[in-house]
Chains A and B, each alone.
Chain A
Amino acid sequence: MILDSKIPEGPLAEKWDKHKFDVKLVNPANKRKYDIIVVGTGLAGASAAATFAELGYNVKSFCYQDSPRRAHSIAAQGGINAAKNYQNDGDSVFRLFYDTIKGGDYRSREANVYRLAQVSVNIIDQCVAQGVPFARDYGGLLANRSFGGAQVSRTFYARGQTGQQLLLGAYSALNRQVAYGKIKVYPRTEMLDLVMVDGKARGIVTRNLITGKIESHSAHAVVLATGGYGNVFFLSTNAMGSNATAAWRAYKKGAYFANPCYTQIHPTCIPVSGGHQSKLTLMSESLRNDGRVWVPKTVELAQKLRKGEIRVADIAEADRDYYLERKYPAFGNLVPRDVASRNAKLVCDEGRGVGSSGLAVYLDFADAIKRDGLAAISAKYGNLFDMYAKITDENPYEVPMRIYPAVHYTMGGLWVDYNLMTNLPGLYAAGECNFSDHGANRLGASALMQGLADGYFVLPYTIGDYLAKMPYDKVSTDHPAFKEAEQNVMDITNRLLSIKGTRTVDDFHKALGHIMWEYCGMARNAEGLQIAKQEIRKLRNEFWRDVKVVGVNEELNVTLEKAHRVADFLELGELMVEDALQRNESCGGHFREESQTPENEALRDDENFAYVAAWEFAGVDNAPVLHKEDLKFENVKLTQRSYK
C-alpha cells in the first residue's frame, strides 16, 4: 500500500488555509446526526471532545482514570510554545517551525510542523479566554521564558504546572459540554478493541474497570488520544496507568504504527533509588537555565565519592568536569534533551557517575545562588527544589542535585496523514498517540502545543471532511463485527485469568523494561538489538505460560488491567526493536552506535533514511511489514545538528 500523507499542494505558508477551504463542511443542522468517540482525556482528547461538541456533534469520551482531569498531560511542568513574538525578540511562525523541524532532526513532515507553528498562537488566546492562569508581568501582560535551548523567549508557563492548568482549561470546556448533554464521559473505562465495519472504524469495545463489564460503543468516527508508550520501559516519567493498549489493539486491526523506536530520554530526572522504584520523577528542564551539569574529572574521585570517603564539597573546582559546557561551548547546559542525556550516559559509562549507584550526574546551583542570590533562585525553582528534597531527603540549595536520564516521551505512534487520520478510514490519532510532528526528538514545551493544536484546531476541521461524506446511519452494537470484537476481548481476558502461573505481571513488566533500557535505550547497536528481539520473544512466551493473575473479570481487578497492558507492551517492545534495527542511522533520540561522527555525535544518513517507517501488523510472531513514507524538504536545508 502506498502511504498517502495527503499534504495539500501549494506554498508551505498557504497549505493549511487552502486545505481548510477545500475540506467539506457538515451542515450545522446535520452535525447532531453524527457520533464521535474520543478515547483519552488529556490535552488532545479533552480539547477535541469539547470542540466537537461545541460544533454540534455527539461525543462519547473515555478515560481509564476516575476523572478526565487526571490524564497524564497534567504532569507537564515547563510550558507551552507559541509564536506570539510578544517579547519582540525575533520569533515568528517560520522560526518556530524551523526550530521544531531542526529539533526533530529532520524526521518530521514540513507541512504538519508548519501548521503546528501557525495554530500555536490561537492556543494561547483560547486558554487565556478559558481562565488558564499563565504567568504575567507586573503590567498585566503575559510573561514568557526561553526553554529547552530555544534562542527566543516563546514559552508560556504556569509556575511549574503548565500541564495541569492547560488540562483544567480543556477539562472545563469538556464539562460545559457534558452539562449541555453533548458529551457523555465514561471514566474508569478502558478501550480494549477497535471495531471495523465495512473497512471503516465504527466503534470500540471497552471494559468497565469497576464492574468488569465488557461493552460496545458505536460511532461514525473514532479518535484515539491515548498518549505515549514510554511505560514499555517499566520505569519512566509516565503515570502508572499510561499504556499503549488502545493504540496497539488498533495496530492489530490494521492501523500502521510509525517510528516506534523514537523515544525521548529526558536528561533531568531524579535517579533510581532502589529495586522498589515504581516510576521516575522529572525535574523541569528549566533547571538547566541556571544549574551547571558536572561530574568529577577522574574515575578515582568518583569512586571515593560513591563510597562516601569524600563529600561533594571536597572536590576542588579544578577537579570538576562541566562536560556540557566543555564540549558544547555555544549551548552549554542548554543542549537539546537527546544530547544532554547521551552525554550523561557517556560519563557514567566511563565510571565517573555519582550517587551510590554511580548512575547520576550533578546539577549544581551553587554558582547561580552566588550570582543571583538564594531568594531569586528560590523564587524561580522553589517548588522543584521542594519536590526534590521530598523525594531524596537532600537539600538542593546546599548540595548539588543528582540527576539521570529517564524515558519521558515517545515521538513514534500511530501513523496519520495530514488530516490526522490513520490508514484506517474513520480512525484518527491525536497528541502523543500519533507520530506526526516531533520527528526523532521533541523539543521542550512542544508536547502541550501539539496536543492542543490537534484537539482544538486541527481535528475539528478535518473530521468534518470525513463525516460529510458519511451516511448518517448508525451501526448497531449487535452487528457481528461488535460481537466478534467483544468475544476477542473476552478470549484474551479468559486466557490471562486461566494461566494461573507463578510470576506476577509486574515481574514480567520489570523484566521487559530491563531489556528495553539495556538494548533499546539511549544507545543502540545491531548486536544488542538482535539479542533484545530474542529475549523479548522468550519473555513473551514465558508470560503466556506462567503469568499469575488472581481474581475474576467481573470486579475491580487491578492485576487483570495491568496484564492486558503488559501483554501489549511485550509485543510493542519487539516492534520498537525491529524499527531500531532497520534504522541504521542516528537521528534525534535514536542513537545507533554504528552511525556517529568522530566526536561521538549522532550521524544522520539522509540519503537512505529520510523516511517515516510505518509498520503493518502481520501476526504476533510474524515479521511486521515495513511501509516507507518519504520525507520531502522544500523549505529547510538539512544540516547536521551542531550545538558546539
Chain B
Amino acid sequence: MTAPFDTDFGTPARDATMTVTLEIDGLPVTVPAGTSVMRAAALAGIKVPKLCATDTLEAFGSCRLCLVEIEGRKGTPASCTTPAEAGMKVATQTGKLAKLRRGVMELYISDHPLDCLTCAANGDCELQDMAGAVGLRDVRYGFDGENHTKQAKDESNPYFTFDPSKCIVCSRCVRACEEQQGTFALTIEGRGFDSKVSPSANESFLNSECVSCGACVNACPTATLIEKNVIAMGQPERQVLTTCAYCGVGCAFVAELQGDQVVRMTPHKDGKANHGHSCVKGRFAWGYTTHKDRITKPMIRASISEPWREVSWDEAIGHAASEMKRIQAKYGRGSIGGITSSRCTNEETYLVQKMVRAAFGNNNTDTCARVCHSPTGYGLKTAFGTSAGTQDFDSVADADIVMVIGANPTDAHPVFASRMKKRLREGAKLIVIDPRRIDLVRMPHVEASHHLQLRPGTNVAVLNALAHVIATEGLVNEDFVAERCDPIDFKMWRDFVSKPENSPEAVEAVTEVPATELRAAARLFATAGKNAAIYYGLGVTEHSQGTTTVMGMANLAMATGNLGRTGVGVNPLRGQNNVQGACDMGSFPHELPGYRHVSDTVVRGQFEKAWGVTLDAEPGLRIPNMFDAALDGSFKGLYVQGEDIAQSDPNTKHVTAALAAMECVVVQDLFLNETASYAHIFLPGSSFLEKDGTFTNAERRISRVRRAIKPMAGLADWETTMALSNALGYPMRYTHPSEIMDEIARLTPTFTGVSYDLLDKVGSVQWPCNEKAPEGTPVMHLGGFARGKGKFMVTEYVPTDERTGPRFPLLLTTGRILSQYNVGAQSRRTENVVWHDEDVLDIHPHDAENRGIREGDRVALMSRSGETTLRARLSDRVQPGVVYTTFHHPETGANVVTTEYSDWATNCPEYKVTAVEVRATNRWSNWQEENDGFRQLTTRISAAAE
C-alpha cells in the first residue's frame, strides 16, 4: 500500500472546539482556534516556505523563511508562530516576501556544501526544496570565508550519521529530543556563528545520553542527521504502512523500500498509538528480518541428536501431522497441544487455537501471555468484567497523578514513556513503586514525588497499606463507590484493609518502605478532584501474588473513583506487541475467543456450528502444566509458533527436561532458537514484514500489519498453520487473513465491527468495536462497569515461598532494557548489541564488597534451581540485598536460576523473586558449558534436499 504519509502542515494541530475563519491568498479557511497561520495555509493547500517548522514540533520561529504579510499589520511575521485570527487577511506570496526569503536562503546556502548531486538527502532535502521554492539563483557572499563545511562527521551511532557540515542550526533535532522523546540529550552549543548541535557535553552520539529513538533524524531537514541505510542505498521508492513487532505500544510505522529491500522504517505521524514517535528497536532494529541466521527451508529429524535435514513443505507438514496423529493414537487425545507467541498476529493466534480445539480435539492451547500478563486478564476481569486495560494511551495527557508500579516504561515501553514524561514535565505528580531506582524516579525535568522502593515480593502488602490510608483517613470516593460498586464486596474490603495489620507502620518491616512515605503517597494518589492513573508491568504480574496485586490496584482505582473517564484507570503495559490480542483470540486453554469459558454451552455451540466440530468442554493444559504432564508421560507432542520456551520460561532445566520427554516437538520460528534444539520438525516462520494481519496493543488498539515483502520461506505463518490443519484432516480454506478477521468478528461480540476495510478507513480501532461503538472504545467503563457493579476483592498479603536464607541471602529480580527485547531472538541479531551484548548482574556496592566482587568481575549466580555465570556491574539502583539482571542472551540463561513458583491463579511464573547467592568465579557454570556443546550438536544442518 502506498500513501502520501509525508504531508507536513508545519505546526501541530490544535484541539479546540471554537473555530476561526480567515483569508489566505484570497481563499477562506476555517481552522480550530490556536492554529498557526502556517498550518491554516497548509490546510488550504497553500505551501509557505519553511525550514525550522515541522508539524511534530511546536513552532520555533527561527529560520525566518515562513514570513507572511497580514493586512493591517506591520512587518512580516513568521507564519509558524502567528495564530490564525478571525477576519485576518494573509498574503504568503508577495514581491517583498520573495526578496526576504531569497536573502535568508542565500545566507543558509553560503555556509552549506554544494554537493547536492552526491548528497544522501538528494531527493528528500528540505533545504534543497526551499532553495527551489524561493527561486534562489545566486549566492552573493561566495564560499571563501569562514564556514562549517569541512567539519568531521560523527559516525559513532550504528544507525545514523551526524554530519555537522550540513547543519543549518534549525534546532529541530534539539526540539525533537526535548518535546517528543524527552531525553534532552541534544543542545545548541555556542552562540552566533559558533552555534552547533552537541550531543550531551560535546560527546559522540554513541557515548552521549542519546537513546537512538530517531526523532532527531526524522526532524532533520537536511542530510545532517540521516540513516546510514539511506546513505548506503539511496532514497526509498515505495512505502507500506504497518505496525511495529516489538513491544505492546504498537507503534505505526511506514516501511520504506526499494524493491523488496527495506531502506528504513519511519514512525507514522498519524499512528494513534505513537503519534509519529519511535524507539531504537522499532525505528532501527529490524535487520533481524534478513539476518543470515534466518531458516528458510522446512527441516525434520528423527531425534534431536541428528542433524537437521531440509525437506519440502509438503514433507514437513505431512510428517508433523502424521506424528501428531500417531501420538494421539498411542497416548490419547489430550497428549498433544500448541503454544503461540504474543509476537504472532491475531489471525495467527486465532488459527492456532482453532486448530488445537478443532483438529487436535482438545483445549491444550496456550500463549506466552501465560508467563507475563495472564494475571492481568484474571484480575481485571474479576474486578471490572473485562480482561483489558481501561484507557487509551492519550489518556495520560489528562492525568494529574501517575502511579507506576513494577514497570520501567523508559526501557520497555519507550514511546509511551515519552508521552508520560511530557505530562510529568507539565506538572503531573509521579509515584513509583519499584525495587529498583528506574530512570523515571529522577531524570531531566522529571522527579518522582515518592519512590516506594519495596522489597521484591511485597507488592500486595504495599497496596494494602495504601488502601489502609485511603480507607481510614476518609479518602474514599464514597459517591463513586456507592454508585458504581458492589456494596457488600466494598464493605468487606474496607473492613479488611482498615485492620491495623495492614497499616503502613505494620508492614514497614516487611516491605522496607518507610511508613511516612507510604502514607504520603496514598494521600497524593487519592487527592480529591484530581485524576490518578495507574500504569503497571511485569513487576506486578510475575509474582506468586500477581493476580492479587492486579486486584489490589483495581481496588485502589475504584475506591478513589479513578475509573470511567480520561486521565485515570488501570493500565497494563503489555510486554509484547500482541499480548492483548493473543489473549483476546482465545489462546488460553480455558477460554474461547472473547474470554468466554469453554464450558459455556451457548458460546461453545456457536463455535461448534461455525467450525463444524464438537468441542471439548473441559479446560486444557496451561504451559507449565504441559511441562509437568510431559514429565509425567501424558503429554508427548507440541506445536510451538514463535515462542522460545526453552529460554523464556522459568527453571530452564525443568523446561528442557519436559521438552526432551516429548516424542514430537514442532517449532515454527524465524531462527533455530533454544527450543528448536529439542525439536523434531522445524517450520520456517515469516517476519512481520512478510505477512498481513493485525496486532492489538496494550490499549486494545487493533492495527494492521501489512505485507511489505514476500515471505522468505514461501509461506506466511497463517498459511503454515492452515496447511498443518488441512494435513491433520481439519480443513481451513482462507485465502487472506482478512477472512480470518471476518470470522473472528462473526464469533466475538467485542469484535463484531472489526474488518480490514474499517482498519484501512480509520487506521486503527480499540475494542469493543461493535454496533454500540462502531469506531471503537478509547476509554472503558464509562458510566458503569462491563460486569455491572465493580467488584472489590479482599487481597491478603501472602509471602512468597521463595525465601532468602544463609545459602541464598540475596533476592534476584529480572527485567529488560531499552536496546534489547525479551529473549533477544530479534534484537540480538541487530546492531543493538552495541549497547548490550551480554546480560550483566547489577549488585549493590555493599553486597559486592562483602563478597570481594569488583566492577566487571565474572560472578556465579546461584539459586535452588541452578547456576549461571555473568559479569557484575556495581549499581546503587538496587538496594543492598537485591540483585538484578536481564534475560536477553541465551548464553547467560538467566532462567536457569529462576524457579517454578508461580501465581496462584494463573501459574504466571514468579520471575521477579528468586533467592540467590553471588560469588566471584573464573569459570562458566556447568549448565553453560553443557549447553554450549548441546547447542552445537543440535543445530547442525545436513545438506539440502532437492
Q: Do A and B come together as binding partners?
A: no
B interface residue numbers (CB < 8 A to A)? none
